[in-house]
Amino acid sequence: MAKKLRFPRLNILTLSGRLTREPEIRFSNNSMMIAKLSLAFDKIKKDEYGNYQSISNFIDATAFGKQAEYCKDQLHKGAPVIVEGELGINAYTDQSGNNRRYPEIIINRVHLLEREETQGSYVQGADGESYPEQANAPAANQYQNNDQDNESEDDVPF
């Protein structure tokens, strides 16, 4: 008898990019908040002449519940973010009757990469809680830009 191939079932995705539009907020039938996002991310590729070219890509993402509330309250068009989640495939039928499929990120966590203006010394984390700015808060400052970095927002290719 042949052995069956066993492998882990992984569907983990982490992506950084910028929001291409304001989060679109909806509610499910049971009143759960849903936030639809559109992310732009780029890839640097060398062309046939040895020059580096930036290729922009776009993907939709969806957050539910508390993560959707965070998106509604904290994110805006152009905001740099990191999303963690899994890849999902949506299907629909277009006006011509053709079945279409497209990929989407189902968000588990989202991190805003900008420093937020705060009153006092507190920062709001991705989980919605306020943390002292110097504390090791979960996801509060984990991916935020360091003021000592030499890159400015103008250096981002998109």
3-state secondary structure at position 73: helix
User: What gap in Å lies between CA 141 and CA 74, rounded to an integer?
Assistant: 14
pLDDT of residue 154: 52
pLDDT classification of 114: cutoffs 50, 70, 90: confident
Residue 65 lies in a domain: yes
Number of domains in the chain: 1
Residue 127 lies in a domain: no
* Structural domain for 71, as ranges: 13-44+55-117
Share of the chain above pLDDT 90, in %: 61
Q: Is there a contact between 19 and 81 (Cβ–Cβ < 8 Å)?
A: yes
Residue 1 lies in a domain: no
25-69 per-position pLDDT tens digit: 999 999 999 999 999 999 999 889 999 999 999 999 999 999 999
For the chain, the average pLDDT equals 80
Most distant CA pair in the chain: distance in Å?
68
The whole-model pTM stands at 0.65
Residue 67 lies in a domain: yes
User: What gap in Å lies between CA 35 and CA 55, rounded to an integer?
Assistant: 26
